[in-house]
């Protein structure tokens, strides 16, 4: 008997059997739980309070019974849907959970107020953030598309341009159509141009084309233009003293972004990412 019991095969079978009994017990318990829907007093109170918020009055007994039945139905559907794995590849559920997590994680970190020295260092390292916008002075000639086709308006502009490059004129609004706003502009930032002429090729042209010569034709939200840029003020730096509030704001913003990134890096270390799409077919 002793020898029999010390037989490794038998030991294996006994242990296996015990494990089977244990696992099925757990499984049974779990299944029992999964089949149970508890509608307790707390749940009913919540249903009542939701109803009251929505309507301002308490539900009648019949209405409450319907609400409880609906709750039970929703719970059953929810569990069945989960069993079928319907939650798995649902974009909206994925995104909602991920956002919920993001909300919970991010912005929790309190950023310590920076010292003056920290702020100065930050300012020196991020000078480009504190540039005030560049601006232009220019005169333009307008070619309207209201009474001619787009193509004709552009061609008229080309002809005028050919004539103007042989002159020393720096403004010649009379060579084009009447423009309802101004013919000459000073100190216009890109933001001003987007508001006054539209978010169109004219914005780029004013900030990139050659200065002190006629350029174009270039399109705005109104039609075609020839441009004579007489001056372009490049971006200028905001001094530390003037921009201190803004610098502090940017400091906190960037510090928070960095904290969030660090947090993510720590999290992502727990995962192994396999980019199988990069594998050769």
Partner 1 sequence: MKRPLLQFFVLLSVFFLSCNGNGSGKNETDTASTKKENVTDIAVNPLKNCYFGDLHLHTAFSADANFFGATLFPEDAYKFAMGEEVEYLGQKVKRVAPLDFLAVTDHSEYLGAIVAVRDPKGPYAGTELNRQYTSTDQKDVAKSFGDFIKDMSANKPNPELNKPEVLRSAWQRVIDAANMYNKPGKFTALVGYEWTSAPNNENNHSQNLHRCVIFKGDKVPDLPFTSFDSQDPEMLWTYLENARKTGSDVLAVPHNANVSNGLMFDTKTLSGKPLTREYAERRMTNEPLTEMMQGKGQSETHPTISTNDEFANYELWEILLSSNERAKFKTGSYVRQAYGTGQELQEKLGANPFKYGLEGGTDYHSALSSSEENNYPGSHGTQDNLAVDYAKVLAAGESVGGEPPTKLSAAGLTGVWAESNTRDAIFDALKRKECFATSGPRIKVRMFAGWNYGAQLFKQDDWVKQAYAGGVPMGADLPAGTGKPRFIVQALKDPNSGNLDRIQIIKVTTKNGKSTEKIYDVVWSGDRKPDSKGKLPAVGNTVDVKSATYTNNIGSAELIGYWEDADFDPQSYATYYARVIEIPTPRWSTYLAAKHNLPPSKIVPTTIQERAWTSPIWYTPSK
| Footprint of partner 1 (CB under 8 A) | 45-46, 49-50, 52-54, 56, 92, 95-96, 99-100, 102-104, 107-108, 144-146, 150, 178, 180-181, 191, 194-200, 220-223, 245
State which residue, 134 or 198, has the beta carbon closest to partner 1: 198
State which residue, 36 or 146, has the beta carbon closest to partner 1: 146
Q: For 195, how many CA atoms within 13 A lie in the half-sphere containing its CB? A: 5
State which residue, 139 or 220, has the beta carbon closest to partner 1: 220
Q: What are phi and psi of 156, to 5 degrees?
A: -60, -40
Query: Closest distance between partner 1 and the C-beta of residue 107, in Å?
Result: 6
Query: Closest distance between partner 1 and the C-beta of residue 26, in Å?
Result: 32
Query: Closest distance between partner 1 and the C-beta of residue 273, in Å?
Result: 23
Query: Closest distance between partner 1 and the C-beta of residue 171, in Å?
Result: 15
State which residue, 161 or 192, has the beta carbon closest to partner 1: 192
Rounded distance between C-alpha atoms, residue 202 and residue 225, angstroms: 8
Rounded distance between C-alpha atoms, residue 90 and residue 98, angstroms: 12
Rounded distance between C-alpha atoms, residue 152 and residue 167, angstroms: 23
């Amino acid at each position: 008997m002793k020898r029999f019991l010390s037989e490794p095969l038998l030991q294996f079978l006994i242990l296996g059997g015990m494990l089977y009994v244990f696992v099925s017990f757990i499984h049974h318990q779990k299944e029992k739980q999964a089949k149970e829907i508890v509608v307790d007093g707390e749940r009913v109170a919540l249903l009542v309070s939701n109803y009251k918020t929505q309507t301002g009055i308490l539900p009648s007994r019949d209405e409450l019974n319907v609400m409880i039945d609906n709750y039970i139905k929703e719970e059953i559907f929810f569990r069945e849907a989960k069993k079928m794995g319907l939650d798995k590849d649902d974009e909206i559920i994925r995104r909602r959970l991920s956002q919920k997590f993001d909300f919970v994680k991010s912005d929790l970190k309190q950023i310590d107020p920076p010292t003056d020295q920290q702020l100065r260092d930050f300012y020196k390292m991020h000078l480009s953030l504190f540039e005030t916008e560049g601006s232009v002075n220019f005169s333009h000639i307008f070619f309207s598309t209201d009474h001619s086709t787009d193509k004709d308006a552009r061609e008229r502009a080309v002809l005028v341009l050919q004539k103007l490059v042989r002159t020393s004129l720096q403004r010649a609004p009379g060579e084009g159509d009447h423009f309802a706003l101004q013919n000459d502009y000073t100190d216009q930032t890109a933001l001003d141009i987007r508001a006054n002429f539209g978010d169109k090729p004219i914005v780029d042209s004013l900030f990139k084309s050659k200065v002190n010569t006629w350029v174009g034709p270039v399109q705005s939200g109104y039609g075609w233009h020839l441009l004579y840029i007489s001056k372009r003020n490049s971006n200028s730096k905001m001094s530390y003293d003037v921009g201190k509030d803004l610098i502090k704001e940017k400091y906190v913003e960037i510090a928070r972004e960095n904290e969030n990134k660090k947090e993510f890096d720590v999290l992502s270390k727990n995962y192994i990412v396999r980019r199988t799409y990069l594998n050769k077919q």
